[in-house]
Amino acid sequence: MINERFVARLSQLRMEKGVSARDMSLSLGQSAGYINNIENKNNLPSMAAFFDICEYLSISPKDFFDFDSPNPEQLNDIIQDLQCLSKEKVSHISAIIKDMK
């Protein structure tokens, strides 16, 4: 079910960020148990709260639901860094990545 995938993804991304459910809840301006209640399948966030969660995790809503991407925040950082490089340097990095696959 999507609820289970949502909860698993939230937990995964929160742990990758290295933050407790309590600290994340308080950072979002919610009660201390807010994220725990979501992760324990007691509640789902409102749409506005979901956008706040994504902002807190430094990802887009699209990234949140890209279940095949284990670390979207890091990938977004890499993409931003790549955008500052010349076309030649990006080609070199692309070749390195292809060689590593």
- How far apart (Å, rounded) are the C-alpha atoms in residues 97 and 52? 33
Residue 73: the pLDDT is 81
Question: 22 with 36: CB under 8 angstroms?
Answer: yes
* CA angle at 31 for the pair 69 and 24, rounded to the nearest 5°: 30
pLDDT of 2 strictly over 80: no
Q: What's the mean pLDDT when you consider all of the chain?
A: 92
pLDDT of 69 strictly over 90: no
pLDDT of 37 strictly over 90: yes
pLDDT of 33 strictly over 90: yes
